């Protein structure tokens, strides 16, 4: 077998499809017949210097893929499978892998590095393979340069794969020492130095303790800064990447180095090669991210309650940083706006400028204004574009008071430029800048608006005109219109200033969606997004125009469903379009269905709409499914109990959606739709409940389903119980134990991190919403007494929650509500239980005294229900 | 070990429209769930058992309306809030909100002086509430019949000037299918002004003067989908009674309604409003079964009590019989169940004008759309229809005799 494996591995890469297929089949059989021997053959192949590099590399890859998978459940299976192999086999495999690190073939070494890291990621958390780090470190000092390089690379991969708590501090110290030595300028071999620098990037997360030690931190920082001066571009780039990682991981330790780092980055931005310069700019963008977060957390309150201090690095660097960034703006590439994948120094610089504006606010204006003024009318397009981009970049951050006077002056200029400037790049940026003006300086929350009755018409005329321009400009014009409409969103039912132009606007957007070249520059997507926003912000007076749009959108959707014999590429585009059309219909349904004035006229379309949505489920695209499901939820809400007639046909897709673990968004949305159906159909959903409940219970017990879907699954029980009332009795024996067991696991959050606490609270809230729905559903029914047996443990759970410090407002509101629901439904028979519970006393009082009106309201309701229950 | 791609979004909004749609949906669903929960909670048992309407435990449904609530009489407040109720609860609630006439099993005294009479249109009895730019009609079971624009105050969006959203009107109507018209039989509230505590005399006067004024009696239009119509109401004297009984009306008649002039609008069964039918003025004199056939024996629906007693829906209830506990147990019945019985050959027997015995045969549980058992007067009326009906002549002769009496009294007065 070992002799054959080489040939099979080579065949598996053959050009001839049938040879390849046959080889893959052989490999599969081999693996199924004898897994340990299969793994050993692969490891042996990888380690064997006499074998061709192609078969060695594939052997390594197959081994690596046999240890890890993207999907959580599959990954878990693979890990268990590896752990259950016998020790002798594993030792043999690991020996082959370590040996391969010394191979003269760089491909073989690199593949082995990755496999070792995968094995380490399984074994180190289990406290297995304790000698690994020691073995690797001992290699570093003795062996030829290429082994040293491979060993450092391996350490880097291990740090990437393994969580820091699986490696003890002693090993961390040794790894860092080895890595830093490898980075040092005294290391003569550039491959080793590069591997070490890249390894440090991953190892930084392990260096918490070392960064708290001044001497060690100084040393690490010095070596990193030195590496930014290496003659090798890749080393300089990797070193800057390390600096970026340090800036986000160890922001609070940066103060002593920031001055030097500024000088290094300035040099790189001004003169180094682009990959290096981009990382140098990213360092400052990353500092902005940190300071924006910290200042957000301060929330304008500078008493400093936050546990992270803001060092105001950006503010201090401002006088030097701004000119550096403005210079980059003039380094645009031709046609960068037509290239989706473009990322260059001008783009990075402008993005950073925008972040700086958000970090420092008003202070940036006087530093940027002269640049804008001196460049915006220049004959060279680069100067005009740079000036416009600079202006657009600083529109978020500074106060509207400071910006509005500037924008009032600039608005006309921009409108003219959008029509008249000969350069597409300038027009693109101009339209984008207009969009930013509308996004940040127009809307009901502002005292003053830059849009007045006198300029509104011109703005619209210009934007509609630009929507006929080349795709990238038209896309930005759509974006600007999006924000223009959004600004009128909260105006209420009063007449919108857009109403007189509404018909023209819808027609223009619709025309864009149908442009032949709408596939370029994301134009079609942008047009539908704008269409959606315009519809969302429309008022009753323009509802009839929205209504006229419905048959057109339905027709488009119909056509996508009729299209035959598409290539896979066309099929993908078709699915994307279906998603967009369903999304658009969903927005229209929500809009027209929410107002009595339009709902009845609109519902004439519901049969046709439903027919189209059901056909979407025949396609394979998860995005289209999700959009169709969302639209159906909105339709159910609008149609109410009449939705019953669609249930026989829709039901199987509902079940399919609930079973879609892989695209968990589809599953999550479907769970939400079950809630919509419960409220629309009420007791008419009962005939479908056996199937739905079975699936919901399955989903809850599955460990394959994404965890974010679980809280809504619990809430969904409540929706069902509320809809079908006492008929829920047949499900009690399944749901109640499940809710109770889940509740027991969630009674305490001590020791959990913020993320876990938040998730736990979501779960608790879901469980309590289920209890609420069940209690309320049974109210007044003779079967109420069935719930009595569960009451003690529910109150116990509530009592344990009351002792918790980590309850958020939503949870408190739900919890006190359940206390009331229990009392309301069980009445006097639960009176002794209620009187003995903490939740009906201290917790109730705490909620009654809450500042939060939601909590207070629920608490008052609970107080009333409790007093009635115990007074009988 | 590839470092993360530090490319940042360029000239792109921070959030995709798809994510916005998702968020909007989730928000809507969460809000709807809260609403549903809120609705369920507000069905506190106290609201449902309106025997005790002044109970203070009606929870505040919406804290933002707390201000106006104090100015609105509690009953109308309930009606508007109750529009949010669903299912069984809604059926019970709405059924209890209408004034339900008793069946006329004997002729009240002073008919011609104290009573009105009018021909009841055949159709669906419903509540019509206009507020906030929309008009909603709800059947006795709480389900919505129509939601439409109307010329009633605040009944459509086009008539913003006609009142603020707080201004709403509630009417007791019968929707007559053939001419798609709402015939208004009573008025409970007009432009926020409560008429519950006014006499029928005043309510009919108000209705007559205000409804026409509003334009609601005009032909349908874009902002007024259904026509509303008044019904001629007569004093219950000889002429009035004949006019109501025989006069031509644009609708199909379904019996006569008698209203006591002093009666306030009282929810639930009341002896101050009476209904009477015979074959000349109604197609539906004798109750039919689910298939629309007249059963050979009269059927009644009664509510089973804890102790096996079978009660009518009256307050206080009338006991029609009793089931033994073995039977109740074996048939899986619970207290509160509405049960259907037929009345056997021995019929109903009365002693001193009170029910003495009823020959009941159990059929089964009643249709679950039913909210209540039959009332005593209905059962007796149906029984009378089958055996010795009350006739038009009985009314006329009662009027004549009482007129004579009054004349006599007057005569005596004058001579004295």
Which A residues in the span 236-295 are in contact with B, Cβ-Cβ below 8 Å?
Answer: 238, 241, 244-245, 278-279, 282, 285
* Ramachandran region, residue B142 (left: φ > 0; alpha: ψ -120 to 50; beta: rest): left
Which sign does the torsion angle of CA B408, B413, B415, B416 carry? positive
3-state secondary structure A854-867: HHHHHHHHHHHHHH
Question: Does the distance separating the beta carbons of A528 and B8 come in below 8 Å?
Answer: no
Q: Considering only CA atoms, which of B208, B262, B201, B258 is closest in space to residue B231?
A: B208
When pLDDT is averaged across residues A375-403 and rounded to a whole number, the result is 96
pTM above 0.80, yes or no: no
Q: Does A349 touch chain B (CB under 8 A)?
A: no
Interface residue of B33, B146, B371 to substitute, partner A, most A CBs within 10 Å: B33
- Give SS3 for A26: helix
Percent of chain A at pLDDT above 90? 69
**B115-121 and B253-260 as β-strands: parallel, antiparallel, unpaired?**
antiparallel
pLDDT at B167: 65
Residue of A241, A428, A533 lying closest to B3 (CB–CB): A241
Answer yes or no: are the C-beta atoms of B151 and B214 closer than 8 Å: yes
Question: Does the distance separating the beta carbons of B335 and A533 come in below 8 Å?
Answer: no
Return the residue of B nearest to A726 by Cα.
Answer: B88
Which sign does the torsion angle of CA B325, B327, B329, B335 carry? negative
Q: Does A633 touch chain B (CB under 8 A)?
A: yes
- When pLDDT is cut at 50, 70 and 90, the band that residue B47 belongs to is very low
In Å, how far is B45's CA from the nearest CA of chain A?
8
Residue of A479, A665, A722 lying closest to B40 (CB–CB): A722
Which A residues in the span 720-749 are in contact with B, Cβ-Cβ below 8 Å?
Answer: 722, 725
- A510-532 pLDDT per residue, tens: 999 999 999 888 899 999 999 99
Q: Does B27 touch chain A (CB under 8 A)?
A: no
Interface residue of A325, A484, A824, A851 to substitute, partner B, most B CBs within 10 Å: A824
Question: Does the distance separating the beta carbons of A351 and B10 come in below 8 Å?
Answer: yes
Q: Considering only CA atoms, which of A865, A857, A853, A813 is closest in space to residue B57?
A: A865
**Averaged pLDDT score across all residues of chain B:** 76
- Give SS3 for A148: helix
Return the residue of A nearest to B11 by Cα.
Answer: A432
- When pLDDT is cut at 50, 70 and 90, the band that residue B163 belongs to is very low
pLDDT at A749: 67
pLDDT at B251: 93
Strands of A625-670 (E only): list them: none
Answer yes or no: are the C-beta atoms of A136 and A154 closer than 8 Å: yes
Question: Does the distance separating the beta carbons of B41 and A637 come in below 8 Å?
Answer: no
Q: Does A601 touch chain B (CB under 8 A)?
A: no
Residue of B22, B40, B59 lying closest to A776 (CB–CB): B40
Rounded distance between C-alpha atoms, residue B38 and residue B31, angstroms: 10
Residue of A156, A479, A633 lying closest to B25 (CB–CB): A633
In Å, how far is A776's CA from the nearest CA of chain B?
6
Question: Does the distance separating the beta carbons of B17 and A528 come in below 8 Å?
Answer: yes
Helix (H) or strand (E) holding B319: strand B319-322
Adjacent-strand bridge partners of B131: B134
Question: Does the distance separating the beta carbons of B8 and A348 come in below 8 Å?
Answer: yes
Answer yes or no: are the C-beta atoms of A393 and A439 closer than 8 Å: no
Interface residue of B25, B87, B149 to substitute, partner A, most A CBs within 10 Å: B25
Question: Does the distance separating the beta carbons of B89 and A596 come in below 8 Å?
Answer: no
pLDDT at A752: 67
Q: Which residues of A touch B134 (CB under 8 A)?
A: 596-597
Rounded distance between C-alpha atoms, residue B341 and residue A221, angstroms: 93
Q: Which residues of B touch A593 (CB under 8 A)?
A: none
What the block records as the tokens of B242 is 């004949």
pLDDT at A326: 97
In Å, how far is A3's CA from the nearest CA of chain B?
33
Residue of B7, B22, B33 lying closest to A715 (CB–CB): B33
Q: Which residues of B touch A245 (CB under 8 A)?
A: 3
Q: Which residues of A touch B8 (CB under 8 A)?
A: 285, 348, 351
3-state secondary structure A414-440: HHHHHHHCCCHHHHHHHHHHHHHHHHH
What the block records as the tokens of B123 is 């159709």
Question: Does the distance separating the beta carbons of B87 and A683 come in below 8 Å?
Answer: yes
A457 Cβ contact list (under 8 Å, min separation 6): A501
Q: In sequence order, what DSSP letters do the residues of A831-849 get, joined into one string? A: HHHHHT-STTTHHHHHHHT
When pLDDT is averaged across residues B377-403 and rounded to a whole number, the result is 83
Return the residue of B nearest to A339 by Cα.
Answer: B10
When pLDDT is averaged across residues A353-359 and rounded to a whole number, the result is 96
> What is the DSSP secondary structure assignment for residue A518, as one 8-state letter?
T
On the question of pLDDT at B271 being above 70, the answer is yes
In Å, how far is B376's CA from the nearest CA of chain A?
25
When pLDDT is averaged across residues B52-72 and rounded to a whole number, the result is 35
Question: Does the distance separating the beta carbons of A343 and B21 come in below 8 Å?
Answer: no
Q: In sequence order, what DSSP letters do the residues of A585-607 get, joined into one string? A: HHHHHHHHHT-HHHHHHHGGGHH
- When pLDDT is cut at 50, 70 and 90, the band that residue A829 belongs to is confident
Question: Does the distance separating the beta carbons of B134 and A597 come in below 8 Å?
Answer: yes
- When pLDDT is cut at 50, 70 and 90, the band that residue A758 belongs to is confident
A54-63, A709-718, B124-133, B274-283: lowest mean pLDDT where? B124-133
Answer yes or no: are the C-beta atoms of B158 and B215 closer than 8 Å: no
Rounded distance between C-alpha atoms, residue A498 and residue A500, angstroms: 6
Question: Does the distance separating the beta carbons of A719 and B28 come in below 8 Å?
Answer: no
pLDDT at B359: 85
pLDDT at A58: 94
Q: Does A586 touch chain B (CB under 8 A)?
A: yes
- When pLDDT is cut at 50, 70 and 90, the band that residue B6 belongs to is low
- When pLDDT is cut at 50, 70 and 90, the band that residue A34 belongs to is very high
- A364-387 pLDDT per residue, tens: 999 999 999 999 999 999 999 999
Answer yes or no: are the C-beta atoms of A846 and A796 closer than 8 Å: no
Q: Which residues of B touch A861 (CB under 8 A)?
A: 41, 59
A149 Cβ contact list (under 8 Å, min separation 6): A109, A189, A191, A192, A194, A195
- B243-256 pLDDT per residue, tens: 999 999 999 999 99
Question: Does the distance separating the beta carbons of B21 and A864 come in below 8 Å?
Answer: no
Q: Is the ipTM of this complex over 0.90?
A: no
pLDDT at A872: 57
Question: Does the distance separating the beta carbons of A672 and B29 come in below 8 Å?
Answer: yes
When pLDDT is averaged across residues A4-15 and rounded to a whole number, the result is 90
- A280-317 pLDDT per residue, tens: 999 999 999 999 988 887 665 545 455 678 899 999 99
**Averaged pLDDT score across all residues of chain A:** 91
Question: Does the distance separating the beta carbons of B17 and A821 come in below 8 Å?
Answer: no
pLDDT at B46: 29
Residue of A157, A428, A596 lying closest to B1 (CB–CB): A157
On the question of pLDDT at B305 being above 60, the answer is yes
When pLDDT is averaged across residues B361-387 and rounded to a whole number, the result is 83
Answer yes or no: are the C-beta atoms of A356 and A364 closer than 8 Å: yes
Return the residue of B nearest to A242 by Cα.
Answer: B3
pLDDT at A850: 87
A455-459, B90-94, B197-201, B235-239: lowest mean pLDDT where? B90-94
- When pLDDT is cut at 50, 70 and 90, the band that residue B73 belongs to is very low
Answer yes or no: are the C-beta atoms of A758 and A707 closer than 8 Å: no
Chain A, chain B: beta-carbon pairs less than 8 Å apart: 140
Q: Which residues of B touch A718 (CB under 8 A)?
A: 33, 37
When pLDDT is averaged across residues A386-401 and rounded to a whole number, the result is 96
pLDDT at A469: 96
Residues in chain A: 872
- When pLDDT is cut at 50, 70 and 90, the band that residue B78 belongs to is low
- When pLDDT is cut at 50, 70 and 90, the band that residue B144 belongs to is confident
What the block records as the tokens of A68 is 């890890």
Return the residue of A nearest to B4 by Cα.
Answer: A241
Answer yes or no: are the C-beta atoms of A780 and A724 closer than 8 Å: no
Question: Does the distance separating the beta carbons of B89 and A857 come in below 8 Å?
Answer: no
- When pLDDT is cut at 50, 70 and 90, the band that residue A770 belongs to is very high
- A585-622 pLDDT per residue, tens: 999 999 998 887 788 889 999 999 999 999 998 877 88
Question: Does the distance separating the beta carbons of A579 and B18 come in below 8 Å?
Answer: yes
- When pLDDT is cut at 50, 70 and 90, the band that residue B55 belongs to is very low
In Å, how far is B394's CA from the nearest CA of chain A?
45
- A807-828 pLDDT per residue, tens: 888 999 999 999 999 998 898 8
When pLDDT is averaged across residues B401-406 and rounded to a whole number, the result is 59
Question: Does the distance separating the beta carbons of B133 and A347 come in below 8 Å?
Answer: no
Burial class (CB in 10 A: 0-12, 13-18, 19+), A300: exposed
Question: Does the distance separating the beta carbons of A244 and B1 come in below 8 Å?
Answer: no
pLDDT at B72: 36
On the question of pLDDT at B80 being above 70, the answer is no
Q: Does B391 touch chain A (CB under 8 A)?
A: no
Answer yes or no: are the C-beta atoms of A785 and A731 closer than 8 Å: no
Q: Does A779 touch chain B (CB under 8 A)?
A: yes
- A150-163 pLDDT per residue, tens: 999 999 999 999 88
């Amino acid at each position: 077998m070992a002799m054959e494996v080489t040939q099979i591995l080579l065949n598996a890469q053959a050009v001839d499809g049938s040879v390849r297929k046959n080889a893959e089949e052989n490999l599969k059989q081999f693996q199924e017949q004898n897994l340990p021997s299969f793994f050993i053959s692969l490891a042996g192949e990888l380690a064997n210097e006499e074998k061709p590099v192609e078969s060695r590399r594939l052997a390594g890859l197959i081994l690596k893929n046999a240890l890890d998978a993207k999907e959580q459940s599959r990954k878990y299976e693979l890990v268990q499978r590896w752990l259950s192999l016998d020790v002798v086999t594993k030792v043999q495999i690991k020996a082959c892998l370590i040996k391969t690190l010394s191979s003269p073939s760089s491909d073989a070494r690199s593949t082995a590095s990755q496999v070792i890291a995968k094995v380490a990621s399984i074994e180190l958390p289990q406290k297995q393979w304790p000698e690994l780090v020691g073995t690797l470190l001992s290699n570093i000092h003795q062996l030829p340069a290429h082994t040293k390089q491979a060993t450092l690379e391996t350490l880097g991969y291990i740090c990437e794969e393994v969580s820091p708590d699986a490696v003890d501090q002693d090993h961390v110290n040794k790894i860092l020492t080895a890595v830093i030595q490898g980075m040092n300028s005294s290391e003569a071999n550039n491959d080793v130095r590069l591997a070490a620098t890249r390894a440090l990037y991953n190892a930084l997360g392990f260096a918490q303790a070392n960064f708290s030690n001044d001497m060690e931190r100084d040393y690490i920082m010095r070596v990193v800064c030195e590496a930014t001066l290496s003659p090798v571009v890749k080393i300089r780039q990797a070193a800057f990447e390390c600096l970026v990682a340090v800036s986000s991981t160890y922001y609070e330790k940066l103060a002593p180095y920031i001055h030097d780092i500024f000088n290094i980055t300035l040099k790189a931005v001004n003169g180094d090669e682009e990959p290096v310069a981009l990382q140098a700019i990213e360092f400052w963008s990353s500092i902005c991210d940190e300071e924006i977060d910290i200042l957000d957390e301060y929330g304008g309150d500078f008493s400093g309650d936050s546990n992270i201090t803001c060092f105001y690095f950006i503010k201090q660097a401002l006088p030097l940083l701004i000119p550096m960034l403005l210079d980059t703006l003039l380094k645009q590439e031709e046609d960068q706006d037509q290239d989706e994948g473009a990322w260059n120094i001008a783009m990075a610089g402008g993005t950073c400028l925008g972040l700086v504006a958000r970090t420092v606010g008003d202070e940036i204006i006087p530093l940027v204004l002269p640049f804008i003024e001196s460049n915006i009318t220049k004959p060279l397009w680069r100067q005009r574009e740079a000036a416009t981009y600079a202006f657009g970049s600083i529109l978020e951050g500074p106060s509207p008071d400071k910006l509005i006077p500037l924008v009032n002056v600039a608005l006309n200029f921009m409108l003219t430029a959008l029509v008249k400037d000969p350069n597409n790049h300038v027009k693109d940026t101009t339209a984008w800048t207009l969009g930013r003006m509308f996004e940040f300086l127009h809307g009901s929350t502002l005292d003053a608006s830059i849009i007045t009755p006198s300029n509104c018409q011109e703005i619209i005329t210009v934007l509609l005109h630009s929507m006929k321009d080349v795709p990238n400009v038209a896309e930005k014009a759509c974006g600007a219109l999006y924000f223009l409409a959004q600004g009128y969103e909260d105006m209420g039912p009063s007449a919108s200033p857009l109403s007189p132009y509404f018909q023209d606007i819808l027609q223009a957007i619709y025309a864009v969606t149908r442009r032949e070249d709408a596939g370029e520059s994301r134009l079609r997507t942008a047009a539908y997004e704008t269409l959606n926003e315009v519809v969302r912000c429309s008022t009753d007076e323009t509802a009839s125009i929205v209504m006229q749009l419905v048959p057109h959108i339905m027709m488009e959707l119909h056509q996508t469903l009729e299209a035959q014999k598409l290539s896979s590429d066309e099929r993908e585009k078709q699915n994307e379009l279906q998603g967009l059309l369903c999304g658009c219909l969903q927005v229209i349904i929500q809009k027209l269905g929410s107002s009595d004035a339009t709902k009845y006229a609109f519902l004439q379309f519901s049969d046709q709409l439903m027919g189209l949505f059901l056909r979407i489920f025949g396609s394979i695209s998860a995005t289209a499914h999700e959009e169709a499901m969302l639209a159906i939820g909105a339709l159910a809400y609008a149609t109410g109990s009449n939705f019953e007639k669609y249930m026989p046909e829709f039901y199987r897709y509902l079940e399919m959606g609930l079973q879609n673990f892989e695209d968990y968004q589809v599953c999550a949305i479907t769970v939400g739709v079950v809630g919509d159906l419960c409220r629309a159909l009420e007791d008419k959903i009962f005939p479908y409940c056996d199937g739905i409940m079975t699936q919901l219970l399955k989903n809850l017990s599955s460990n394959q389903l994404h965890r974010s879907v679980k809280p809504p699954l619990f809430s969904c029980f409540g929706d069902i119980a509320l809809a079908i009332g006492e008929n829920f009795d047949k499900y009690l024996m399944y749901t109640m134990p499940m809710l109770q067991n889940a509740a027991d696991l969630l009674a305490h959050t001590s020791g959990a991190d913020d993320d876990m606490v938040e998730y736990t609270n979501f779960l608790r809230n879901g469980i309590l919403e289920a209890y609420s729905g069940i209690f309320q559903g049974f109210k007044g029914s003779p079967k109420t007494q069935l719930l009595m047996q569960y009451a003690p443990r529910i109150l116990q759970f509530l009592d344990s929650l009351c002792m918790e410090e980590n309850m958020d407002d939503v949870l408190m509101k739900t919890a006190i509500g359940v206390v009331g629901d229990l009392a309301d439904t069980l009445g006097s028979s639960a009176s002794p239980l209620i009187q003995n519970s903490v939740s009906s006393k201290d917790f109730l009082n705490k909620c009654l005294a809450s500042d939060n009106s939601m909590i207070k309201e629920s608490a008052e309701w609970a107080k009333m229900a409790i007093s009635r229950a115990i007074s009988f | 070990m590839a470092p993360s791609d530090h490319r940042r979004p360029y000239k792109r909004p921070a959030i995709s429209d798809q994510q916005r749609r998702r968020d909007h949906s989730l928000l809507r669903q969460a809000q709807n769930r809260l609403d549903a929960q809120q609705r369920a909670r507000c069905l506190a048992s106290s609201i449902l058992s309106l025997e005790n309407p002044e109970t203070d435990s009606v929870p505040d449904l919406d804290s933002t309306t707390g201000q106006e609530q104090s100015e609105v009489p509690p009953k109308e407040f309930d009606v508007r809030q109750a529009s949010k109720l669903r299912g069984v609860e809604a059926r019970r609630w709405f059924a209890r909100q209408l004034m339900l006439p008793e069946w006329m099993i004997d002729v009240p005294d002073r008919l011609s002086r104290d009573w009105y009479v009018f021909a009841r249109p055949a159709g669906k009895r419903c509540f019509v509430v206009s507020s906030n730019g929309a008009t909603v009609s709800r059947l006795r079971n709480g389900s919505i019949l129509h939601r439409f624009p109307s010329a009633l105050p605040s009944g459509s969006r086009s008539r913003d000037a006609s009142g603020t959203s707080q201004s709403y009107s509630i009417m007791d109507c019968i929707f007559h299918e053939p001419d798609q018209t709402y015939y208004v039989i009573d008025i409970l509230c007009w432009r926020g002004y409560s008429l519950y505590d006014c006499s029928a005399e005043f309510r009919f006067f108000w209705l007559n003067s205000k409804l026409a004024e509003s334009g609601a009696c005009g032909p349908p239009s874009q902002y007024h989908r259904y026509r509303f119509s008044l019904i001629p109401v007569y004093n219950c004297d000889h002429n009035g009674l004949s006019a109501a009984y025989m006069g031509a009306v644009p609708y199909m008649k379904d019996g006569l309604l008698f209203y006591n002039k002093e009666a306030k609008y009282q929810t639930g069964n009341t002896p101050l409003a009476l209904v009477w039918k015979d074959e000349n003025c109604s197609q539906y004199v004798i109750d039919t079964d689910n298939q629309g056939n007249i059963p050979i024996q009269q059927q009644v629906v009664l509510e089973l009590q804890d102790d096996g007693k079978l009660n009518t829906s009256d307050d206080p209830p009338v006991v029609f019989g009793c089931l033994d506990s073995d039977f109740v147990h074996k048939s899986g019945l619970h207290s509160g169940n509405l049960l259907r019985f037929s009345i056997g050959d021995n019929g109903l027997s009365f002693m001193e004008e009170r029910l003495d015995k009823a020959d009941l045969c159990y059929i089964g549980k009643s249709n679950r759309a039913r909210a209540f058992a039959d009332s005593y007067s209905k059962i007796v009326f149906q029984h009378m229809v089958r055996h010795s009906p009350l006739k038009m002549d009985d009314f006329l002769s009662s009027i004549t005799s009482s007129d004579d009496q009054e004349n006599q009294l007057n005569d005596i007065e004058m001579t004295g």
